[in-house]
Chains A and B, each alone.
Chain A
Amino acid sequence: MTVGLVIVSHSARLAEGVVELAGQMAQGKVVIAPAGGTAEGGLGTSVDKILQALRQAASPEGVLVLLDLGSAGLAAEMALELFKQDHDCPVMISSAPLVEGAVVAAVEASIGSPLPAVAEAAMAATTLPKLPVAEGQATEETAPDDKPAGDRT
């Protein structure tokens, strides 16, 4: 089993797109569940949709939840509270950027890394440059194994 991922977005299409992209990196080895938009299909987040996605992604290895915007955090925490009533699976909510975080977490989970390592990799994605840097040089030396500051259980 691998760590599961939940992609929380204010837009259903955005969540599905991120699932598509991250899924290509995971090669079918990781369950990645979208939770985008409101129950009525509008823009926003839905505690119920997030709860369903958590149930779908639940695994003994745990679940990492990624958010598009900080305001999705409250809904994710409410869903997590409900989820914990009938699941014992460890869950972490990540502060990582959604796209980079999901892609990196999908690869990390696909090689069987435990939940803290998947969460740490997602957070470290924050420091990845989007544009090519000078030959053989990174923009800045940051240890890839820095402790993530924005993860919480």
Chain B
Amino acid sequence: MPVVERNLLITNKVGLHARPARLLVQTAALFQSQILLQYGTQTVNAKSIVGVLRLGARCGSTIHVRAEGEDAEEAVRSIAELVQRNFDEAEEADRRQGESTTGVSSEAPA
């Protein structure tokens, strides 16, 4: 089984809060692969909303994603894209915060 791992920098303002966590779980659930997220000392199933919320990963923190399965590559790519797009709320956050988020990705290969 292919295994794909990657570090992802969380750059959206609120971090892995309710709505971003929901999007991440709903994205992960589209894939057959087992997908784990690691942050600090915790490792959780990316398809579990409670697990992802429990991570409490904030803006500026790096999470490690590890997928194992036939569609691992695509799964990690989709999750990375979602994170890099700031969960599609960069513009909204800009308006709210009056600050700019560039959406620049800073993830590095594991």
Q: Do A136 and B61 form a contact, CB below 8 Å, given A111-B26, A112-B29, A144-B44? A: yes
- In the complex, how many residues of chain B place their beta carbon closer than 8 angstroms to a beta carbon of chain A? 25
Q: How far is the CA of A16 from the CA of B42 in the complex (A)?
A: 35
Our pick among B25, B39, B48 for the contact of A136 (Cβ within 8 Å) is B39
A59-82 interface mask toward B, CB cutoff 8 Å, 1 = contact, 0 = none? 000000000000000000000000
Q: Which one of A111, A128, A145 contacts B53 once the chains associate, using CB atoms below 8 Å?
A: A128
Q: Which residues of B have CB within 8 Å of A133?
A: 56
Chain A interface mostly: loop
- Tell yes or no: B22 within 8 A of A by CB: yes
- A124, B29: Cα distance in complex, Å: 19
Complex Cα distance A27/B18, Å? Answer: 13
B50 & A121 in contact (Cβ 8 Å cutoff): yes
- The reply to whether the CB of B54 lies closer than 8 angstroms to some CB of chain A is yes
Q: How many angstroms between the C-alpha atoms of A138 and B38 in the bound complex?
A: 13
Shortest beta-carbon distance, A115 to chain B, in Å? 16
B22-A107 in contact (CB<8A): yes
Interface string of B52-66 (1 = CB under 8 A from A): 011111100100000
Provide the residues of chain A in CB contact with B51, threshold 8 Å.
144
Given that A104-B50, A144-B51 are known contacts, is A135 also in contact with B22, CB under 8 Å in the complex? no
Extra inter-chain contacts (13) besides given A108-B49, A111-B47, CB under 8 Å: A25-B19, A111-B25, A111-B26, A121-B48, A124-B50, A128-B53, A135-B58, A136-B40, A136-B61, A137-B40, A144-B48, A144-B51, A145-B48
List residues of B whose CB falls within 8 A of some A CB.
Answer: 18-19, 21-22, 25-26, 29, 39-42, 44-45, 47-51, 53-58, 61
- 7 CB < 8 A contacts A-B: A25-B19, A104-B49, A128-B54, A135-B61, A136-B41, A136-B57, A138-B42
Residues of A within 8 A of B (CB): 24-25, 27, 103-104, 107-108, 110-112, 121, 124-125, 127-129, 132-133, 135-138, 141, 144-145
